């Protein structure tokens, strides 16, 4: 199976938790030496998703989170807004696309930053 997917939590401890969860789940993977992203096969996507959910639940509690995607050129705008308003977040990169893990109470569509 080719490793055609990649994912990274931009928090080192969470990324290590993800790798450990993937190992426990038996997901074949490698860790990119350059940026630390895990590479895996899309055939293992369900097991990967379960591992990622385990880590996300660790951060915010079971079912208390959501992820939002933004355009690459909007990342700085999102981070600036969240820092200015004290919003806790975890940056993620899924197949080179920027995402943010947020507490479910925060809805970026209501922030008016576009």
**Domain map of the chain by residue range?**
5-110
CB hemisphere CA count around 44 (13 angstroms): 22
Average pLDDT over residues 80-107: 96
Of 102, 98, 52, nearest to 74 (Cα)? 98
* 27 touches 7 (CB < 8 A): no
Q: What is this structure's pTM?
A: 0.92
pLDDT for residue 65 is more than 80: yes
Evaluate if residue 114 carries a pLDDT over 70: no
Average the pLDDT over 29-36 and give the result: 93
Percent of the chain residues past pLDDT 90, beyond the cut: 89
Distance CA 27, CA 83 (A): 35
């Amino acid at each position: 199976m080719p490793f055609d997917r990649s994912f990274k939590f931009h928090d080192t401890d969470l990324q290590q938790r993800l790798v450990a969860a993937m190992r426990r789940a038996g997901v074949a993977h490698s860790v990119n030496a350059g940026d630390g992203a895990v590479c895996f096969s899309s055939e293992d996507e369900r097991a990967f998703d379960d591992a990622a959910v385990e880590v996300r639940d660790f951060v915010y509690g079971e079912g208390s989170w959501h992820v939002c995607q933004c355009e690459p050129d909007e990342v700085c705008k999102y981070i600036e807004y969240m820092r200015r308003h004290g919003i806790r977040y975890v940056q993620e990169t899924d197949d080179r696309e920027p995402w943010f893990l947020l507490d479910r109470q925060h809805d970026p569509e209501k922030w008016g930053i576009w």
